[in-house]
Structure 1
Amino acid sequence: MRVAISGMTAKSPGTEEKARAVTAILIAGPTASGKSALALALAERLSGTVVNADSMQIYRDLRVLTARPSAEEEARAPHRLYGHVDAAEPYSVARWLDEVRPVLSGLGEAGRVAIVAGGTGLYFKALTEGLSQVPEIDPQVRAHWRQKGAELTAEMLHRELAARDPVMAGRLRPSDTQRLVRALEVIEATGRSLAEWQGDRTPPLVEPSNALKLVLSPQRDWLHERIVRRFRQMAEKGGMEEAARLVARDLDPSLPAMKAIGLRELAAASAGDLDLEEAVERASIETRRYAKRQQTFYRGQFPDWPRADPSQGMDDMLTSSLVKLTH
């Protein structure tokens, strides 16, 4: 089968000739599973452009700690929406959609395949399903609930939400402070449940039927070992200094960038307040938990996306992925 990808073609052996036009290749997966490497390999093979779908790799302050593609990797193929936002700025899926829209349009006009890669599942859902159009929240209301989010426990916030918006309270984990605060500010500012707003969605930027989709699904032991090794490499290659610089800015701790996994641990190690091995161990544990949540999300939200095991090696994974993507 021959698959037309924005003017390019890819072959899978032993199949009859057939062409299918697609608008994007979408690669999701847990942290440290090799998404960026696969996306780069495909971009080189297909003369494509890698587009970021990771909510932390958008920050310019966090190249090392988020394992953002290096300058050398970015030179091998075009990369878009990486490291373009200051850590002092909040960022949202709505802003990402606003920024990715012209990127995808421009790539389509240029005849280049967009290879969208990242670990933020909500970005992929918004891209392929649209986004609820919640109006701008009054800054005073937002500031009020951010303050409450810092003062109250997650359980207390959940009880408050249950009294005001039982539907959203039933959908959210009682420990998810960020989303609880979001639901509370929406119900107060708009008088409508976030669940109602989520029912009114914008059209998707990428029709699922026109996208080639893939989820990297590694073996647990392989992923855990890779996470520990990667954090140790981060510490040795500037991660401690990067963490120290960002913490020294004394930004609002509720900002998304300040919640980067390993930030506090490596900053503490840089200051001599924490043993490096202990910092790596703590950060690795948090990363494993995060990866587990990501994998749970993909199983629940993307059950029909083809899977690929990255532990088989890049050459085999590239071949396997091309076959999966083109069927």
Structure 2
Amino acid sequence: MASGEGEAPRAFLIAGPTASGKSALALMLADRLGGTVINADSMQVYDTLRILTARPSPQDEAAVPHRLYGHVPLTRAYSVGAWLADVRAALAEAAAAGRPAIIVGGTGLYFKALTGGLPPMPDIPEAVRGEVRRRLELEGSAALHAELAVLDPQSARRINVSDPQRIVRALEVAVATGRPLSEWQREPALPLLPPAPSVLRLVLWPDREAVRARIDARVGAMLAAGALDEVRAAMAMDLDPSLPGYRAHGLRPFMAHLRGELPLQEAAERTRAETRQYAKRQFTWFRHQMPDWERLDPDRAADRLAAVPP
């Protein structure tokens, strides 16, 4: 990403598993360098669920500029392509203000797209999107997968019949454009932030047991802070279960509790379990997809970044 004069702005990419201390580290760095914190977490983009998705507090957001937090309605589908368009604007804004960009989050695909690029994807008309999602509800994912196998056999082979979100996305593209998603994905991709000396890429790599303990404690703290009120607000929206935001950790178990289907303790334990599983998948992604990023123990991260000149 270049500024108006062509020189690349300084950027810090801080990835890591959930509950590894990324947000606190980004806040510290932004405060010291006069930077802008930019979100790279696919759940923290949504409104309504500040507590449940562990978004920065209002006090933290007021302390330094934060971008792309809570800016997407929970009722809306949001993709990595949409995030790339938003982050391009956020990077340009930071560069124009002379602020280093501090991009922080746990969504590996966002970082991969940012540093490796994504093929161009078409905009899908709302009429097509609504019709495909209506058919999913009426006909089920198996019927849509069978249609996808005719329109885009390559994507159908890659996508499991039990993955309705990806089926819907591929079918939307094929119906809206008359061109298979697999063809769109073969288009050349240009990264916004290619590897460069001006871009520092870090992955926080905490002890696994420490992450488990922090996840367990975080769920209790979320409940004490009012997470169930957020879940009630989400339930009042009558969300489509295929929406990405519906996958926020804890949302389904706590909905089940509020419907009288689960005791609160069991809903909390299910939330802990699914969050632990997610952290495990994050470790695997970072190990295999980001092997050339600098790994950093969170306890030494502040000292490492203190060496960065202001």
Report the TM-score when normalising by structure 2: 0.86
Q: Displacement, 1:193?
A: 2.8
Matched, 1:317 2:301: yes
1:103 aligns with 2:90: yes
Cross-structure match for 2:16: 29
* Distance change (3 Å), C-alpha of 1:102 and 1:138: closer
Distance in 2, matches of 1:318 and 1:168, equals 43
| Structure 2 partner of 1:17 | none
Aligned equivalents of 1:220, 1:151: Cα separation in 2:
42
**Cα offset for 1:128?**
1.8
Partner of 2:168: 181
How far is the alpha carbon of 1:238 from its aligned partner?
Answer: 0.5
For residue 147 of structure 1, report the CA deviation from its aligned partner: 3.5
The CA deviation string for residues 7-32 of structure 1, in whole angstroms up to 9 with x for no partner, is: xxxxxxxxxxxxx9753111112222
CA deviations on 1:178-203 (whole Å, 9 max, x unpaired) are 12321232233333332321222453
Cα distance between partner residues in 1 of 2:179 and 2:33:
46
Structure 1: 4+ residue segments shifted above 6 A: none
Residue 219 and residue 159 in structure 1: after superposition, are their counterparts in 2 closer, same or farther (change >3 A)? Answer: farther
- Tell me the equivalent position of 2:267: 279
> Which residue of structure 2 aligns with residue 3 of structure 1?
none
Matches within 5 A, 1:61-210: 61-150=48-137, 161-172=148-159, 175-209=162-196, 210=198
Instruction: Confirm whether residue 218 of structure 1 aligns to residue 206 of structure 2.
Output: yes
The CA distance in 2 between the partners of 1:198 and 1:81, in whole Å, is 25
Helix, strand or coil for the counterpart of 1:317? helix
For the 8 Å contact 2:152–2:182, the answer to whether it is kept is no
Q: Which residue of 2 aligns with 1:45?
A: 32
Q: 1:174 to 1:50 in 2, by over 3 A?
A: same
AA partner of residue 296 (structure 2): A
SS state at 1:97 partner: helix
Residues 152-205 of structure 1 show CA distances to partners (whole Å, capped at 9, x for unaligned) of 666666565445434324444554331232123223333333232122245322
Query: Percent identity of the aligned residues?
Result: 53
Q: Do 1:64 and 1:234's aligned partners in 2 also have CA atoms closer than 8 Å?
A: yes
Q: For residues 167 and 283 of structure 2, what CA distance do their matches in structure 1 show?
A: 22
- Give the direction of change, closer, same or farther, for the CA distance of 1:271–1:303 in structure 2 (3 Å limit): same
- Residues 231 and 154 of structure 1: is their aligned pair in 2 closer, same or farther, counting only changes over 3 Å? farther
- CA offset at residue 79 of structure 1? 1.0
Aligned-partner Cα distance in 2 for 1:156–1:281? 35
Structure 1 Cα separation of the partners of residues 28 and 182 of structure 2: 39
The amino acid of 1:242's aligned partner reads: E
Q: 1:145 to 1:291 in 2, by over 3 A?
A: farther
- 1:228 equivalent in structure 2: 216
Q: Distance in 1 between matches of 2:212 and 2:157?
A: 32
**Shift in CA distance, 140/81, structure 1 to aligned 2, threshold 3 Å:** closer
Shift of 1:34: 1.6
**RMSD of equivalent CA atoms:** 2.7
Unaligned runs of 5+ in 1: 1-5, 7-19
Gaps of 5+ in 2: none
2:45/2:70 contact within 8 Å kept: yes
Conserved 8 A contact 1:241-1:270: no
1:251–1:258 contact (8 Å) kept in structure 2: yes
Matches within 5 A, 1:253-292: 253-270=241-258, 272-292=260-280
CA distance in 2, matches of 1:173, 1:216: 32
- Tell me if the contact between 2:16 and 2:106 (Cα under 8 Å) persists in the aligned partners: yes
Q: State the distance in 2 between where 1:173 and 1:222 align.
A: 34
Q: In terms of mean alpha carbon deviation, does 251-260 or 239-248 score higher?
A: 251-260
Provide closer, same or farther for how the CA distance between residues 150 and 188 of structure 1 changes in structure 2, counting only shifts above 3 A.
same
Letter in 1 for 2:15: A
2 CA distance for matches of 1:123 and 1:244? 29
Question: After superposition, where does 1:247-258 map in structure 2 within 5 Å?
Answer: 247-258=235-246
Q: TM-score, normalized by length of structure 1?
A: 0.82
